[in-house]
Amino acid sequence: MAFTTLGLAAPIIEGVRAMGYSEPTPIQLRAIPLILSGQDVIGSAQTGTGKTAAFALPILSKLGAHAAAGPRVLVLEPTRELAAQVETSFRDLSRFTDLRVAVVYGGVGYGEQTDQLRRGLDVLVATPGRLLDHMQRGAARLDRVEYLVLDEADRMLDMGFLPDVKRIVERVPKARQTCLFSATVPPDIASLIKWAMNQPEVVEIGSRRSPAETVKHVIYPVEDEQKSDLLLSLLDQMNWESVIVFCRTRHRADRIGTFLRKHDHAVAILHSDRTQREREDALKGFRDGRFDVLVATDIAARGLDVADVSHVINYDVPTHPEDYVHRIGRTGRANTTGDAFTLMCVADRRHVADIERFIGHRIEQVVLDGFAYEKSVLFTESGKPRPTKKILGVFNRSGRTFRPRRR
């Protein structure tokens, strides 16, 4: 199936060609004709499936050429990184048109954004908070919007943006086409859908809960004290090109990043305590190959288009099962394969159990050859990972003490 059969405008097909896409991905095949026909669409495909182009291509096709009054398209994104990335996709795909694309997000000055908004544009990509600021200052008007995209809606909910999103949607004309993308549909998103959308068609690619299908994932049980050594040994032994290491907190990300640098890895650190410049530099350096390890907290987990990550390592088990799916979605993007490793200490076992329930199957537990493991309840006498269900007992809050249950 080729892009030319989908009904996209000629200059947009040229843009697709210039990007080097040869065939539409499954979500593009399903969503593009629906969006072209004017239908509201809910997409529940995982990130990494080509979902940005799935909405950008038909919308750009329908816009045609630059119009004086705009923006006609508003795309809301939960984070600045995502907003910047989606803007780049719109620009790339529309490069053979005269359409104008701009992005607004917080953490940087207003000047240049205000200038762009004043100059007139067709497509505006924005994070909710900064867009509301511009609206209050009279710099952004939404009364010409014909196409509204609510991307990563579940993440917007997690980040507490839903009230902002609603305030923005109220200012967009009712006669519009709305697309919403969300990996999961919790009740608050379901009610947003009811309120903001008009008889939407659902496009679901694969099971909503299953992580990107090409990713192989395994768990390395390890005592907390040995985690950093195991991480180092993993990096020494595995055949990787680029890896994202996810940590629970900013502090831990800084600590692990510094630790890996001491051991001669080229490391970038990405979390919300860093300035916008530092964050952009980290991402750019990682994309360019200046850094081969990116240590990040969950803000980086969603949707970031860091292409060709060969491995994801969860230094900490995510406490929300959804985050596991999103984190490991960083590898295996658009049909390439990747590996996802999760370090699990005793206290993490219940989170792993939650994740396994969420994704609907168990994750294989393995040990790293040649690593000097401390004796632990995580392993059997012969050093094999102890099947989780056979570990009996209770743990104190730090997870250190193992107290067998009396039978």
Residues at the interface with ligand AMP (CB under 6 A): 21, 23-25, 28, 47-53, 303, 305, 307, 333-334
Minimum gap (Å) between residue 371 Cβ and ligand AMP: 34
* Residue number, 301 or 378, with CB nearest to ligand AMP: 301
170 class by beta-carbon count within 10 Å (0-12 exposed, 13-18 middle, 19+ buried)? exposed
- Minimum Å distance from CB 185 to ligand AMP? 18
DSSP annotation of 403? E
Q: How far is the CB of 294 from ligand AMP (least distance, A)?
A: 16
Nearest residue (CB) to ligand AMP, 53 versus 283: 53
- As given in the structure block, the two tokens for residue 125 are 């990509």
Q: Which residue has 């969006």 as its token pair?
A: 35
**Which SS3 state, helix, strand or coil, does residue 370 take?**
coil
Q: Which residues pair with 296 in a beta bridge?
A: 246, 270
Q: Which is nearer to ligand AMP, 222 or 306 (CB)?
A: 306
* Minimal distance, residue 50 CB to ligand AMP, in Å: 3
Residues, the chain, total? 407
Rounded least distance, CB 23 to ligand AMP, Å: 6
- Angle CA(133)–CA(137)–CA(138) in degrees, nearest 5? 115
CB-CB contact of 15 with 95 (8 Å): yes
CB of 141 to ligand AMP, least distance (A): 28
Q: Which residues contact 60 (CB under 8 A, 6 or more apart)?
A: 9, 12, 15, 90, 93, 94, 97, 99, 123
Nearest approach, Cβ of 308 to ligand AMP (angstroms)? 9
CB neighbour list of residue 269: distance below 8 Å, 6 or more residues apart: 253, 254, 257, 282, 294, 295, 296
Amino acid sitting at position 158: D
- The H or E element spanning position 277 is helix 276-288
**23/112 with CB nearer ligand AMP:** 23
Please tell me the distance from the alpha carbon of residue 330 to that of residue 333, in angstroms, as a whole number: 6
Shorter beta-carbon distance to ligand AMP: residue 308 or 374: 308
Contact (CB, 8 A) for 346 and 278: no
Output 51 or 80, the one with its CB closest to ligand AMP: 51
Nearer to ligand AMP, 40 or 77 (CB): 77
Amino acid at 195: W
